[in-house]
Amino acid sequence: IITLSDLECDYINARSCCSKLNKWVVPELVGHAIVTVLMLISLHWFIFLLNLPVATWNIYRFIMVPSGNMGVFDPTEIHNRGQLKSHMKEAMIKLGFHLLCFFMYLYRLVSQSAAR
Residue 116 above 80 pLDDT?
no
Q: Could you tell me the pTM of the whole model?
A: 0.82
**pLDDT tens-digit profile of 29-65?**
999 999 999 999 998 899 999 999 999 999 999 999 9
Q: What are the domain boundaries of the chain?
A: 1-115
Average pLDDT value over all residues in the chain? 89
Query: Please, are residues 50 and 102 in contact by the beta-carbon 8 Å criterion?
Result: no
Is pLDDT above 90 for 2?
Answer: no
Report, in angstroms and rounded to the nearest whole number, the Rg of the chain calculated over CA atoms: 17
End-to-end CA distance of the chain: 40
Triad 47, 53, 59: Cα angle to 5°: 120
